Amino acid sequence: MKMVNLKIDNVNVSVPAGTSILDAAKEAGIKIPTLCYHPDMPFTASCRLCLVQIKGKRKLQPSCATPVKENMEVITNNPMIREARKTALELLLANHPMECPVCIKNNKCELQRLAQELNITDITFEKCSDMLPIDDQNPAIVREPNKCVKCGRCVEVCHEVQTVGAINTAYRSGEYNVCTAFQKPLAESECVFCGQCVNVCPVGAIYEKDDTQKVWDALNDPDKFVIVQTAPAIRASLGEEFGMDPGSLVTGQMVTALRNLGFDRVFDTDFTADLTIIEEGNELLERLENNGVLPMITSCSPGWINFIEKFYPELLQHLSSCKSPQQMFGALAKTYYAQKENISPEKMFVVSVMPCTAKKYEAARPEMNSSGYRDVDVVLTTRELGRMLKEAGINLAILEPGKFDEPLGISTGAGAIFGTSGGVMEAALRTVYEVVTGKELENIDFTDVRGLEGIKEAEVDIDGTKIKIAVANSLKNARELLEMVKSGKGDYKFIEVMCCPGGCIGGGGQPYGTNNETKQKRMQAIYKEDKNMKIRKSHKNPAVCELYEDFLGKPLGYKSHKLLHTYYTPKK
């Protein structure tokens, strides 16, 4: 690797060629303020907060977007630089609604933090807030454009990472803003509600629709039997809401916290993740045996479902007909569990805690009511659960670990790894191998499909039959695989797609500050959870076996089809 030597504030620094001045300064222990910059995305260099002076250059340069050069001399702090940065920030603040104490982003806002770091105590410029309408016409995401600082991160992630392009910058000068085509509500746009824009927004301009009050109301209603299910990925991230390090595994504390909040039962989506493996695994085998449509593609990621319905409706028959674990859970809670416990499904209220904004949209799909009631009543994101716990004065970090209720809280390591890219594939392979061969799988760690890489491929030998599989995370990579499927390339039999980069650990409902580094740590936590489990194969989950014996009968049976499977609708 070619190294470049330069001086930053008179400190000698040596960094690989291509490094930005911003990153080089980090190496030298110098922190340069940034707003539009995001470590995992291309720069826009629009905020002008990271300006630095380069010897020989007349103008200040954005350090995020300027690569280092040999013998470059950089100054990051002098009156001219400080003035330019402070002026840029003050100008942004003059255009900002300043509703900080009542903003969803209060205390987590990058603009707020910068105002503190740059020692802004007064805004000398005249206030000139925008007067654009709020868009909350969908179940998942709220856009509040008046708070937008025009950093462009949401646009970058929507276009470059997800290739959805629902939002873009439009107009010019003071009217320049981020909007959908023709200013339509998100619901009428290409938006798949993945919430990656929410994750990267530095301020409170785009956020999850807050459903916490609905949950408080249910918890407060003596007639309601309130059940909660927790997604595999949230136990590896919820701790961050309480100042714990990324990758802190808080499964037990989370259970106690939910119980303390007042939920009647604390169950686990990992249970239906195991169930998904049985149904989906059998569906794959059936397709393989009966010349069905191949490759079969997973269907647990609701942003992904929205994407394929909108962008590749011609490939819908490749999707597994399995509902997502969240929806399977809801359907079973209000049928199987309701019968078992003799609770009227009418009174049952199912809350799920998900790392995801698209799950809110999924739960609201009209077809998701196979129990006769809404399968899932309310979906909270990881962030919303964090807010509820704080509101209730519950400090997750100091709680004694608790245990999930039975039977819908019993799960295996295979269910746990659903939370990360490659997990569904790995869980499926653990089961499919044993179901097909009748032999015990010796090495159950399919490391080829693990990691943050966008597209992962592997070939699996199932008793002499080799099948090719692929795993994609982020919609850009999903698109790439779909194009291969369309053109007959790849010859895959089974594909896992997760909408968000890294899978659910990087979901649009996860704690703010999600980046590749935090995702990596959350991923490690998920695999640690898997390793910790006594049972690590879905078909060995005793509660799942009991469910088939007592209620469902057999995989892909009548009841399964009624409760656990769904259909898709072209939405182009």
Residues recognised as catalytic? 280, 283, 300, 320, 359, 362, 367, 504
17 contacts other proteins (rule: CB under 8 A) = no
45 contacts other proteins (rule: CB under 8 A) = yes
Span of 82-90, 252-260, 387-395, 469-477 interacting with other proteins by CB under 8 A: 82-90
Closer residue to other proteins in complex, CB, 12/173: 173
46 contacts other proteins (rule: CB under 8 A) = yes
Q: Pick one of 88, 197, 376, 408: the residue that binds other proteins (CB under 8 A).
A: 88
Return the closest-CA partner of residue 348 out of 324, 320, 325, 329.
329
Return the closest-CA partner of residue 307 out of 121, 153, 500, 112.
500
Q: Pick one of 65, 315, 343, 364: the residue that binds other proteins (CB under 8 A).
A: 65
In the complex, the smallest distance separating the C-beta of residue 90 from other proteins, rounded to whole angstroms, is 8
DSSP class of residue 265? E
Closer residue to other proteins in complex, CB, 122/289: 122
DSSP class of residue 319? B
172 contacts other proteins (rule: CB under 8 A) = yes
551 contacts other proteins (rule: CB under 8 A) = no
Residue 271: both structure tokens together? 């249970």
Q: Give backbone dihedrals phi and psi of 244, rounded to 5 degrees, phi first.
A: -80, 160
Q: Pick one of 5, 71, 77, 87: the residue that binds other proteins (CB under 8 A).
A: 87
Residue 176 burial (C-beta neighbours within 10 Å; 0-12, 13-18, 19+):
middle
In the complex, the smallest distance separating the C-beta of residue 60 from other proteins, rounded to whole angstroms, is 5
51 contacts other proteins (rule: CB under 8 A) = yes
59 contacts other proteins (rule: CB under 8 A) = yes
SS3 sequence of 349-411: EEEEEECCCHHHHHHCCCCCCCCCCCCCCEEEEHHHHHHHHHHCCCCHHHCCCCCCCCCCCCC
Q: What region does 13 belong to: left with phi over 0, alpha with psi -120 to 50, or beta?
A: beta
125 contacts other proteins (rule: CB under 8 A) = yes
Closer residue to other proteins in complex, CB, 43/207: 43
In the complex, the smallest distance separating the C-beta of residue 49 from other proteins, rounded to whole angstroms, is 8
Span of 80-88, 140-148, 267-275, 469-477 interacting with other proteins by CB under 8 A: 80-88
The strand pair at 465-473 and 455-462 is best described as antiparallel
47 contacts other proteins (rule: CB under 8 A) = yes
Q: Pick one of 41, 94, 397, 543: the residue that binds other proteins (CB under 8 A).
A: 94
Size, binding site for other proteins by CB under 8 A: 39
171 contacts other proteins (rule: CB under 8 A) = yes
**Residues in contact with 54: Cβ distance below 8 Å, sequence separation at least 6, in sequence order:** 21, 61, 66, 72, 73, 74, 75
Q: Quickly list DSSP for 189-252.
A: SS-----HHHHH-SSSSEEEPP-HHHHHHHHT-TT-EEEEEE-GGGGGTGGGGGTPPTT---HH
Site string for other proteins, 177-216 (x = CB under 8 A): x---------------------------------------
Span of 107-115, 165-173, 378-386, 546-554 interacting with other proteins by CB under 8 A: 165-173
Q: Which amino acid is at 89?
A: L
% helix, strand, coil for the chain, step of 5: 40, 15, 45
Q: Give backbone dihedrals phi and psi of 357, rounded to 5 degrees, phi first.
A: -90, -30
Residue 211: both structure tokens together? 């459903």
CA distances from 11 to 24, 50, 76, 380 (A): 11, 18, 11, 48
Return the closest-CA partner of residue 176 out of 104, 95, 107.
95
Q: Pick one of 4, 23, 30, 62: the residue that binds other proteins (CB under 8 A).
A: 62
Cβ contact 364:139 at 8 Å? yes
60 contacts other proteins (rule: CB under 8 A) = yes
In the complex, the smallest distance separating the C-beta of residue 92 from other proteins, rounded to whole angstroms, is 6
455 contacts other proteins (rule: CB under 8 A) = no
Q: Quickly list DSSP for 138-163.
A: SSSEEE-GGG-----HHHHIIIIIT-
175 contacts other proteins (rule: CB under 8 A) = yes
Closer residue to other proteins in complex, CB, 126/223: 126
Measured from the Cβ of residue 364, the count of other Cβ atoms closer than 10 Å reads 14
Closer residue to other proteins in complex, CB, 170/535: 170
75 contacts other proteins (rule: CB under 8 A) = no
In the complex, the smallest distance separating the C-beta of residue 168 from other proteins, rounded to whole angstroms, is 8
SS3 sequence of 26-59: HHCCCCCCCCCCCCCCCCCCCCCCCEEEECCCCC
Span of 92-100, 380-388, 520-528, 557-565 interacting with other proteins by CB under 8 A: 92-100
174 contacts other proteins (rule: CB under 8 A) = yes
List residues binding other proteins (CB under 8 A).
43-49, 51, 59-60, 62, 65-67, 80, 83-84, 87-88, 91-92, 94-95, 124-126, 128, 149-150, 152, 169-177
